[in-house]
Amino acid sequence: MKLSIIIPVYNEKETILLLLEKVDRVDMGVIQKEIIIVDDGSNDGTRDLLKTVENKYNVIYQKINSGKGFAIRAGLAQATGDWVVIQDADLEYDPNDLKKMLEKIQKVNVSVVYGSRRLNRNYFNERHSGHIFALGGIFLTWLTNILFHADITDESTCYKMFKTDLIKSLKLACLKFEFCPEVTAKIIKKGIKIYEVQINYYPRQKLEGKKINWIDGLSAIWTLIKYKFVS
């Protein structure tokens, strides 16, 4: 059995190699790891670092920066695992939490598992990327639950794990950060339950390289509304 870990990367020279070390160190027992890195047109030296590990990982280079969603789709096209998970190239998420998600998705009738930051009781007591980011995530989760009659706690989490045949069947169209609302909406509309497990979260600030902004928030809202009414 195999887990495909898709890592979209854009200008993360300070964290990418350390992140890869952390992913490598995660012991998944008999489950193999297939690590697919998609460099989305980095121009800060990230690409030079990735060239030093090409013999160890499947590295895809995009000619220009096209967005996280586009990079994820490129990675999905080459994924051969039984399951797929998305891993950001920064250090906000702990790869050790993938073991909990993997344990959950191997249960009968479980096809999708999200790693929820908000199930962690310390989430509201610890550092955030900023109040706007935290409130934005809460609002998007609320809107998802209202529009699709869902019951999830963290719609915008990076850690999303799927059975590979399921996510490949969704015909994703996302280019940027609207991957999260699109994939969530399409899964719920298929009548598939999204399970959640508690994860850790170590957010960074805009000055530390966080790239999502308020325009992406508006795009996420529009994406949720669009897929509520568009098949």
**pLDDT tens, N- to C-terminus, the chain (231 residues):** 999 999 999 999 999 999 999 999 999 999 999 999 999 999 999 999 999 999 999 999 999 999 999 999 999 999 999 999 999 999 999 999 999 999 999 999 999 999 999 997 665 555 555 566 678 889 999 999 999 999 999 999 999 999 999 999 999 999 999 999 999 999 999 999 999 999 999 886 655 556 677 788 899 999 999 999 987
Where residue 189 falls (left for φ over 0; alpha for ψ -120 to 50; beta otherwise) is alpha
Which residues are paired to 83 by β-bridges? 3, 163
pLDDT value for 122: 64
> What is the domain partition of the chain in residue ranges?
2-229
Alpha-carbon torsion 115, 118, 120, 122, what sign?
positive
2-229: CATH, from 3.90.550.10, 2.30.42.10, 2.40.50.100, 3.90.1150.10: 3.90.550.10
pLDDT value for 215: 87
pLDDT value for 115: 97
pLDDT value for 209: 56
φ and ψ at residue 185, rounded to 5 degrees: -60, -45
pLDDT value for 8: 98
Which residues are paired to 140 by β-bridges? none
Q: Helices marked H in the chain — which ranges?
A: 16-25, 46-51, 68-76, 98-105, 131-148, 164-168, 179-189, 214-229
- 111 token code pair: 């096809």
pLDDT value for 136: 80
Reported residue count of the chain is 231
pLDDT value for 148: 97
Q: Which pairs from 215-218 meet CB under 8 Å and 24+ separation?
A: 216/176, 216/177, 216/178, 217/136, 217/140
User: Containing H/E element for 9?
Assistant: strand 2-9
